[in-house]
Structure 1
């Protein structure tokens, strides 16, 4: 019993001696206060909408071909039906390929987002790292993505320091 109490006391003293400093950032707040991020998102949104319209146009064309085929199917020869079916399938395939090209995991939208947003994210990371090293923070947690944080003192939020370091005053 005495050994376990002594062990607990030593553990608490050891933890206190190695106390670590923590800080929080709110990435959503930081990004909302960086105008170039908002412009980049707007540009990506416009590009995405344009590409979506292209895909929808091809899909609509395929649907119209199919409707026309259905209404005329009885009067078509086997050879004509086969050609129409192939045209419909080709149009659907083209729409799916375009959708994958633009919106797939390695699609154009992903690449553009990476090219446009990565420099902004790198700047935020570098500013965070510099502030953390200067102030001796062992850990910096993003409050926007850390769902398990129930409460954190505003005193440890360094989001405004990061914005100031990046040249954006709040």
Structure 2
């Protein structure tokens, strides 16, 4: 009886395993072939450079203030020294706050990236899902990610099919 149950279990496992279909896609390849993604990336780069320049300008201003303070320190009273130090620290904090506002985990760059990239990623996900349901894939892996895929047959790569479904060649 036990052997029969074991044989049935192996048979069910074998049938289930053979029924599963897998596919690969290369998300980097797909995104590089979507012009809207490239435009969004360029827009993010421009905004990032602009914001970085603002932060660097404040840091440079704080650095200049500090150098001037060091040069003039011997001529300043204790009260003037304290006042200058506080002004420099305020400027440094302002730069730090601005950097956090723009580049922090919930900063403006994150929000901008989310607003520009989410619709594109959602569109790709929808296309992959439709193809998977149509073809009966149980699992689709991204070969561009760090999943540790050493080899994947080009026969199961659906990247070009996803691009076609999205209207790109």
Please, what TM-score do these two structures have when normalized by structure 2? 0.93
The SS at the match of 1:152 is coil
After alignment, is 25-34 or 147-156 more displaced? 147-156
Encode CA deviations 1:69-120: one digit per residue, 9 max, x unaligned. 0111111001111110011001000000000000000000000000000000
Aligned residues: 167
**Runs of at least 4 residues off by over 4 Å:** 9-12
Alignment match of 1:17 (pick from 15, 18, 37): 15
Encode CA deviations 1:103-152: one digit per residue, 9 max, x unaligned. 00000000000000000000000000000001000111111114311111
CA RMSD of aligned residues (A): 1.7
Matched, 1:152 2:152: yes
Aligned to 1:142: 142
**Unmatched tracts of structure 2, length 5 or more:** none
- Structure 2 CA distance for aligned equivalents of residues 138 and 17 of structure 1: 14
The offset of 1:10, in angstroms, is 4.8
- Structure 2 CA distance for aligned equivalents of residues 118 and 94 of structure 1: 31
The offset of 1:11, in angstroms, is 5.0
Please, what TM-score do these two structures have when normalized by structure 1? 0.92
The offset of 1:13, in angstroms, is 3.0
**Unmatched tracts of structure 1, length 5 or more:** none
